[in-house]
Amino acid sequence: MDATLLAAVSRNVRDALDEDRGIIDWTSQLINADTEAHATLMVRQEATLCGRPWFDEALLQVDDRLEVNWFVGEGAPMEPGDAVCEIAGPARGILTAERTALNFIQMLSAVATATKLLVERIRGTRARVFDTRKTLPGLRLAQKYAVGVGGGSNHRLGLYDGILIKENHIHASGGIAAAIRASRALEADVPIQVEVEDLGELAEALAHGATSILLDNFSLEQMREAVMLNGGNAELEVSGGVSDLTILAIAQTGVDRISVGGLTKNIQAVDFSLRFADTPEASRP
């Protein structure tokens, strides 16, 4: 995990704890400060595990005496009823960190699980599954990390590391040719991709040397025609109307990339449960 992602982990967890704990977790004060506890994290459904760094960081930031023993590796499959990890240490710390830690691992495991499903659907084709910038605000690096854990690939991280010429950019800059020329004139040393909405626009983009083209909401027949028209000159990406039911047919048209915004914006949390192994002493401080 590189320094940028490590910083994001720390920042994500700090912000989440700040909004949840605020100045104090009043309910945890019901537990004696000296009470030690063991808690086990269980999963209740089939899923791919993702988010261990965020889970660990939540515990660490609350109380660095908390220890985690993981039974499942990052990116590994889980079955209903599996014990995922065990936490040992001050009961107050476990209780304060619990919701934040669970929120991260539930959300990131959901992204990784959804990604892995689509990756497996198209195994054996040339196409790869990509994410988009349709991410939860403030959690982009976390969610894109989860896509990678699930076997998918990352599109540009943000506006700063790639040029994607979409419909509104084309209209505002005077057309596809003008937009491509303007992009090259920037000498930004970042990838340039052009979005097209029909075969005519595809032909125009190819005529002006586009090497990466996004086919927006093309039908399967149009995708096949686009692959033939392209002749291997540009990398073709498809977006729109992608689901686990449609992705194989899309991949079989011969396109190179399939981008799926739903991987990071239409997710349902994986069901985890954290339970104390033994009831801590019910003494008051």
Q: What is the mean pLDDT of residues 199-222?
A: 96
Q: How confident is the model at residue 88 (pLDDT cuts 50, 70, 90)?
A: very high
Q: pLDDT tens-digit profile of 67-86?
A: 999 999 999 999 999 999 99
Q: pLDDT tens-digit profile of 126-137?
A: 999 999 999 999
Cα(212)–Cα(137) distance, integer angstroms: 27
Q: What is the mean pLDDT of residues 133-148?
A: 97
Taking every pair of Cα atoms in the chain, the longest distance, rounded to a whole number of angstroms, is 77
Q: How confident is the model at residue 283 (pLDDT cuts 50, 70, 90)?
A: very low
Contact indicator for 22, 99 with CB cutoff of 8 Å: no
Q: How confident is the model at residue 160 (pLDDT cuts 50, 70, 90)?
A: very high
Cα(120)–Cα(77) distance, integer angstroms: 13
Question: What are the φ/ψ torsions at residue 167 (nearest 5 degrees)?
Answer: -50, -50
Tell me how far the alpha carbon of residue 277 is from its chain's centroid.
32
Q: How confident is the model at residue 15 (pLDDT cuts 50, 70, 90)?
A: very high
Q: What is the mean pLDDT of residues 159-174?
A: 93
The structure tokens 């990071």 sit at 264
* From-to residues of CATH 3.90.1170.20 in the chain: 3-118+268-276
- Is beta strand 83-90 parallel, antiparallel or unpaired with respect to 67-70? antiparallel
Q: pLDDT tens-digit profile of 242-277?
A: 999 999 999 999 999 999 999 999 999 999 999 998
pLDDT at residue 280, rounded to an integer = 52
Position 278 pLDDT exceeds 80: no
pLDDT at residue 185, rounded to an integer = 93
Q: What is the mean pLDDT of residues 104-113?
A: 98
* From-to residues of CATH 3.20.20.70 in the chain: 122-265
pLDDT at residue 277, rounded to an integer = 86
Top-level class of domain 122-265? alpha beta
Q: For residue 283, give both structure tokens.
A: 């003494």
Q: What is the mean pLDDT of residues 165-189?
A: 93
Position 281 pLDDT exceeds 70: no
Say which CATH architecture domain 3-118+268-276 belongs to: Alpha-Beta Complex (3.90)
Q: What is the mean pLDDT of residues 193-208?
A: 96
**Residues forming a β-bridge with 89:** 37
Position 112 pLDDT exceeds 80: yes
Q: Which residues contact 281 (CB under 8 A, 6 or more apart)?
A: 32, 35
Q: What is the mean pLDDT of residues 170-190?
A: 93
Q: So which residues are the catalytic ones?
A: 99, 134, 166, 195, 216
- Using DSSP's 3-state secondary structure scheme, residue 239 falls into strand
What sign results for the dihedral spanned by CA atoms 120, 122, 128, 131?
negative
Under DSSP, the state recorded for 196 is E
Enclosing H/E stretch for 273: strand 272-276
